Amino acid sequence: MAFRKPPDGGWGWVIVVVSFFTQFLCYGSPLAVGVLYLEWLDAFGEGKGKTAWVGSLANGIGLLASPVCSVCVSSFGARPVAIFSGFMVAGGLMMSSFAPNIYFLYVSYGIVVGLGCGLLYTATVTITCQYFDKRRGLALGLISTGSSVGLFIYAALQRELIELYGLDGCLLIVGALSLNILACGSLMRPLESSSSPPPEKMFVDKVPDQYFVYHEKEKTVEENISILEKGYIDEKCVNNVPDCKQDSILNKNALSSINVNEKDTYKKKVVEQTNFCKQLAKRKWQLYLTYWKETMVLFKNKVFSALFVAILLFDIGGFPPSLLMEDVARSANISEDDYYMPLISIIGIMTTAGKLILGILADFKWVNTLYLYVTTLLMTGVALFAIPFAKSYLTLAMLSGILGFLTGNWSIFPYVTTKTVGIEKLTHAYGILMFFAGLGNSLGPPIVGWFYDWTQEYNTAFYFSGFCVLLGGFLLLLAALPCWNACTNQSSKLPPNTYSYKVASNA
């Protein structure tokens, strides 16, 4: 589908506002799940690694299903998907209040809420990119701050609700708040496409006419005959009961003779319908082949290939602090009197600042967004290495702020993806990248929790996390270096459909 030129304003600002509140309402609880994590540890008595699966699934399953989410948004549009996903998020949160064990939470909170969040995230990012071009970095930065503001507010809100109404009451109230997503989704008016016939009409026009022989016209004639015949028999039965059986037998004989005469016609219709089904299956198979060919073309771009490795390693190492930082402070025997603000709230507010600032920087022509993203990865790895040396609330709060600000690079990740593959392939490429991001989100917290269960301390876990993020950053930097591009161009020619970062940056 070819969309008309993005307006870079107008109704697009309404899209930004409703997308902001959509991410605020759906991601507030999953991102602030660290508060619930401590309660679930005490309530169910399971290990840290096992309990961490709940929060990691909630934040990772939606990204794992990103290819499916992208197909849903492309097929049905952002508005229907957002409204349907609002019911999923609210229902999953409310069901979680009745969880009898940790396994029930895996489904209700981890899968149902996580999948709803993934659908909403894909819908908000896709429709925002369609409405904005020159101000896309600013728009993406604004909507992505919704989840960060949600993290900041929900961290304190859920703690207060737990003290007042308990864990179950907290989840019920948060689930009720999520129903406001329905109102936000209803305002996501789709951007009008360019003057082109609807895909359904184009598809029908391409089907040969001989496959439509089995038409409603013939079906109507047969139905009319049966209705007249039934009415005639009923009338005869009412007026003259003895003749009823005789007329019935005569009519049955007449119908049997008609069926014998039309048997050949029926066989022809069956053959024609079979051919029609074969044509449909062939077209579907061609669509699947085209999809996988386009996927392989994307991976021939070394920047895109390095990008999916980097996002996987970044989420394995960079996501656990937002889930486990409260438990890190408790394991370090930090007194509650020293707590001026929850560490998760600090991460949330600094993530908001990071998304805004990084999003604004991405709009400057002199800023290379890919190098900016690589810089955030390398600095995140260094900050993760420093966590084992933090033994006071002040140092943990400073590191939480730094990590939160750097995690704001999520606002420029769609921007980097668009510059790498172009707006036409954004939905396809972004769905693949978000799948690997979801894999990292799902594996990161349990891995850190298992390290703690094995060693009874977090030092080794965060050394591993820092190494993963640094490795991903260096690989992406190596793929994006101009000297490496020059060497590659001399040694081999790129396929004609392959996108490079520099070429697509002007798209």
Tens of pLDDT, residues 334-389: 766 666 777 888 888 888 888 888 878 887 888 888 889 999 999 999 999 998 88
Q: What is the mean pLDDT of the chain?
A: 76
* 320 and 435 in a common domain: yes
The confidence band for 139, taking pLDDT boundaries of 50, 70 and 90, is confident
The Cα 143–Cα 16 span in angstroms is: 6
The Cα 409–Cα 429 span in angstroms is: 18
Across the range 170-176, mean pLDDT stands at 94
* 280 and 189 in a common domain: no
Q: Is residue 245 part of a domain?
A: no
Give the closest residue to 355 by CA, choosing from 123, 139, 144: 144
* 179 and 298 in a common domain: no
With beta carbons less than 8 A apart as the criterion, state whether 294 and 468 touch. Answer: no
Q: Is residue 478 part of a domain?
A: yes
The confidence band for 232, taking pLDDT boundaries of 50, 70 and 90, is very low
Tell me the backbone φ, ψ of residue 456, rounded to 5 degrees: 60, 25
177, 193, 209 - which closes a domain? 193
The Cα 296–Cα 310 span in angstroms is: 18
DSSP assignments along 63-122, one per residue = HHTHHHHHHHHHHH-HHHHHHHHHHHHHHHHHHHTT-SSHHHHIIIIIIIIHHHHHHHHH
pLDDT for residue 269: 65
Q: Please give the residue range of the domain that contains residue 365.
A: 274-483
* 133 and 4 in a common domain: yes
Across the range 74-78, mean pLDDT stands at 84
The confidence band for 1, taking pLDDT boundaries of 50, 70 and 90, is very low
Q: Tell me whether residue 170 is exposed, middle or buried, using C-beta atoms within 10 angstroms of its C-beta: 0 to 12, 13 to 18, 19 or more.
A: buried
* 142 and 17 in a common domain: yes
Q: Is residue 497 part of a domain?
A: no
Q: Tell me whether residue 446 is exposed, middle or buried, using C-beta atoms within 10 angstroms of its C-beta: 0 to 12, 13 to 18, 19 or more.
A: buried
pLDDT for residue 193: 58
With beta carbons less than 8 A apart as the criterion, state whether 427 and 127 touch. Answer: no
The Cα 316–Cα 52 span in angstroms is: 13
Q: Is residue 343 part of a domain?
A: yes
Q: Which residues pair with 232 in a beta bridge?
A: none
Q: Is residue 233 part of a domain?
A: no
174, 193, 212 - which closes a domain? 193
Across the range 187-205, mean pLDDT stands at 58
Q: Is residue 98 part of a domain?
A: yes
Residue of higher predicted confidence among 374 and 423: 374
Residue 228 has pLDDT above 50, yes or no: no
The CATH number given to whatever domain includes residue 317 is: 1.20.1250.20
pLDDT for residue 84: 94
| pTM score, whole prediction | 0.63
Across the range 425-436, mean pLDDT stands at 75
Residue 151 has pLDDT above 70, yes or no: yes
Q: Is residue 498 part of a domain?
A: no
Across the range 298-322, mean pLDDT stands at 83
Q: Is residue 316 part of a domain?
A: yes
Across the range 47-75, mean pLDDT stands at 82
Q: Which range has the worst mean pLDDT, 117-121, 270-274, 455-459?
A: 270-274
* 166 and 33 in a common domain: yes
Residue 12 has pLDDT above 60, yes or no: yes
Domain count, the chain: 2
* 285 and 389 in a common domain: yes
pLDDT for residue 116: 92
Residue of higher predicted confidence among 500 and 365: 365
DSSP assignments along 188-201, one per residue = -PPPPBPS---HHH
Q: Which long-range contacts does 153-157 make (Cβ < 8 Å, 24+ apart)? A: 153/24, 153/28, 153/348, 154/28, 154/29, 154/31, 154/32, 155/32, 155/34, 155/35, 155/342, 155/344, 155/345, 155/348, 156/342, 156/345, 157/28
Which amino acid is present at 405? F
For 102, 209, 277, 288, 385, the CA distances from 280, given in Å and listed in that order, are: 45, 14, 5, 13, 55
With beta carbons less than 8 A apart as the criterion, state whether 444 and 69 touch. Answer: no
Q: What are 17-36's pLDDT values in tens digits? A: 999 999 999 998 888 888 88
SS (H, E, C) 457-482: CCHHHHHHHHHHHHHHHHHHHHHHCH
* 163 and 309 in a common domain: no
149, 169, 193 - which closes a domain? 193
pLDDT for residue 88: 93
* 285 and 417 in a common domain: yes
Across the range 235-251, mean pLDDT stands at 49
With beta carbons less than 8 A apart as the criterion, state whether 96 and 178 touch. Answer: no
Tell me the backbone φ, ψ of residue 135, rounded to 5 degrees: -105, 25
* 287 and 168 in a common domain: no
Percent of the chain with pLDDT over 90: 20
* 296 and 155 in a common domain: no
* 282 and 185 in a common domain: no
pLDDT for residue 324: 78
pLDDT for residue 491: 38
pLDDT for residue 428: 73
Q: Which range has the worst mean pLDDT, 158-172, 242-256, 290-304?
A: 242-256
